[in-house]
Amino acid sequence: MKLRVETAGAMFELGYRLGTALQPGDLVLLTGELGAGKTTFTQGIANGLGIQRSVTSPTFVTVKPYLLAGGGELYHVDLYRVDDPDYLDEQGVLEEMERGAMVVVEWAERSRSLAEYERLWVRIQLEGEGRCMEIEATPQWRDRLQWLR
């Protein structure tokens, strides 16, 4: 599925709608060049989950956990500066996901650990002033894409 997003506000809103649809153990993978809107989309996801604190790119920390008010966690991961394809395994993020944490990974193409999981893959490309988003869902996700409408 492809979508055109014209503004940062619209990117945030789309992320917000996804956040309201996330379930424990969900994995969202984001790819796109610098400035494509991955972090803005993730901020929307976090807001949709009820996270009120500021969500920033974890480029230098690489993994930021956020506690949800109703219980559970969101892990925001940024692999931009990571060269180790097994990094997520080593950091225990995938183990936390298997226990029910929701995980959003920016620069997801840098990890080979993610291919085996049910996931929603969002590729964001700059197109003029806007963005083109290509969304690919594994079977678990296909019936849950109503948040896009």
pLDDT less than 70: residues of the chain: 58-59, 149
- pLDDT of 17 reads 93
* Torsion from C-alpha of 61, 67, 73, 76, nearest 10 degrees: -30
- pLDDT of 123 reads 96
Q: What is the pLDDT of residues 61-92, one digit of tens each?
A: 788 999 998 889 999 999 998 888 788 888 88
Domains of the chain: 2-143 (3.40.50.300)
78 three-state secondary structure: strand
d(CA 123, CA 108): 10
- pLDDT of 62 reads 87
